[in-house]
Amino acid sequence: MVDYRVSEAATLLGVSPDTVRRWIDTGRLEATKTSSGRRMIDGVVLARFAQSLHEGRESTPPSRHSARNHLAGIVTNVVKDSVMAQVEVQAGPFRLVALISREAVEDLQLCPGSLVNAVVKATNVSIESPAH
């Protein structure tokens, strides 16, 4: 299980840390406090919240396309079969879906709440773990 600081959650959601704090204060986003008073957000909770922010909205593609787009995101869902896996990522307002090997999912330990970098090149989306 992965927990995120307010600043990390803000980066993943594409908002300011103050916005994340307001969402926590109003009960819109669930968080816990550490013994030192730092607010932490469970990765699975953050993944669901990120997804809910953009449900029903059409994402507008950027006006410029680059073969080297790297988007920080959070895994919202992983569906595995015996060989392949479908990994869904919410990167700000963008929902990305990557089809990668089951072995890669297991090696990267991807699950809802995992922090990833989605690398978009042409029609392919690659998933990287910043820690690996």
Q: Write the DSSP string, 28-94.
A: SS--EE-TTS-EEEEHHHHHHHHHHHTTTPPPPPPSS--TTEEEEEEEEEEEE-SSEEEEEEEETTE
Give the domain extent around 74: 69-128
Mark whether 8 and 47 lie in a shared domain.
Answer: yes
Per-residue pLDDT tens for 11-47? 888 889 999 999 999 999 999 999 999 999 999 999 9
Q: Is pTM, for the whole model, over 0.75?
A: no
CATH code of 87's domain: 2.40.50.100
Q: What is the domain count for the chain? A: 2
Per-residue pLDDT tens for 78-132? 999 999 999 999 988 889 999 999 999 999 999 999 999 888 776 667 778 877 5
Mark whether 49 and 81 lie in a shared domain.
Answer: no
Is 61 inside any structural domain? Answer: no
